[in-house]
Structure 1
Amino acid sequence: MVEALIVACPACNTLNRAPGDKLAAGSRGKCGQCGSPLFEGRPIALSQASFPSHAAKSDIPLLVDFWAPWCGPCKAMAPQFERAASRLEPAVRLAKVNTDEERDLAGQFGIRGIPTLILFRHGREIGRQSGAMDAAGIESWVGRMLGG
């Protein structure tokens, strides 16, 4: 049996203890606080307030797409990022940060160009990639970064 993992709820940001073996088997789990699914197979939106729960406090690696609504390459990559989320979750949480709305968060991570993907594990940045990618490229890059 795999030990329990701490997973932040995408709806209320509450930290939940989820059985690692059930997540590995594809279970999506439910939040003990609000009852929402812990994984829905699509990226979640993060803000300055919700970011720490998902990046630093969760045991699930977090892949963040820093983007803006006016960015052409960001718009082109959005469906690819969505597709990658459906394949990578629940092993990896995928999230989006709108750099126009979350300027402090973008500044904290030195975002100079978008789209930029940053992969976090236990609050530490373990990989960064700038430029649009397709779903297969995103999945492959994440696999390399996580050693898989």
Structure 2
Amino acid sequence: MTSPESKIVVCPSCGASNRVPTAKLGAGGTCGRCHTALFTGKPLVLTSANFEAHAGKGDLPLLVDFWASWCGPCRQMAPAFEAAAARLEPMMRLGKLDTEAEQAIAGRYAIRSIPTMVLIHKGREIARQSGAMPPQAIVQWAQSAMMGMAG
């Protein structure tokens, strides 16, 4: 169990859980197991191997971009989502999930159109938004959705 003074942050590289003092989240930090940076300012590539750790184990909300390589709007939004990652970390983790490669996860979240962003916290869907968006709109939507979590 974490306290308000610390958060569990899942390593983007090895998946280890790291306890980080809340006041030091902005300073980044490195994983206690593999010593890589806990925050890279870029979205993670989510797969069946690492999805559950990031969606359910950590204290940070996970913003998932469900996309596919054949989808024009998905490709158009990719740089915007990456720019948003640099602005939203360390408040939340951002990740991209290829719906073609990870059909079971996309099916579990009932993804019917792409791109779709889903904000997940502790394994629970908090908010969802479909359609390509520019970076500032992604940041504003994600911050607004996070405010709704405080209930």
Residue 49 of structure 1: CA displacement? 2.0
47-56 or 37-46, which moves further after superposition? 47-56
User: 1:43-122 to 2 correspondence within 5 Å?
Assistant: 43-122=43-122
Query: 1:16 corresponds to which letter in structure 2?
Result: N
Which residue does 2:36 correspond to in 1? 36
Q: TM-score, length-normalised on structure 2?
A: 0.93
In the TM superposition, residue 2 of structure 1 has moved relative to its aligned partner by 5.1
Which segments of 5 or more consecutive residues in structure 1 lack a partner in the other structure? none
Structure 2: tracts of 5 or more residues without a match: none
For residues 146 and 97 of structure 2, the distance between their equivalents in structure 1, rounded to whole angstroms, comes to 21
Name the counterpart of 2:136: 136
Amino acid paired to 2:118: I
Which of 5, 8, 18 is equivalent to 2:7?
5
CA distance in 2, matches of 1:70, 1:130: 17
Cα shift at 1:48: 1.4
Cα deviation 1:34-79 (Å, max 9, x = unaligned)? 0110000000001112111111110001100000111100000000
SS in 1 for 2:85: helix
Distance 2:110 2:4 in 1: 36
More helix, by proportion: 2
TM-score by length of 1: 0.95
SS in 2 for 1:73: helix
2:20 paired with 1:18? yes
- Over aligned residues, Cα RMSD in angstroms? 1.3
The alignment of Structure 1 onto Structure 2 pairs a total of residues equal to 146
Contact 1:2 1:21 in 2 (8 A): no
- Match for 1:15: what amino acid? S
Task: Please list every run of at least 4 consecutive aligned residues from structure 1 whose deviation after the TM superposition is greater than 3 angstroms.
Answer: none
Partners of 1:42 and 1:72 lie apart in 2 by 21
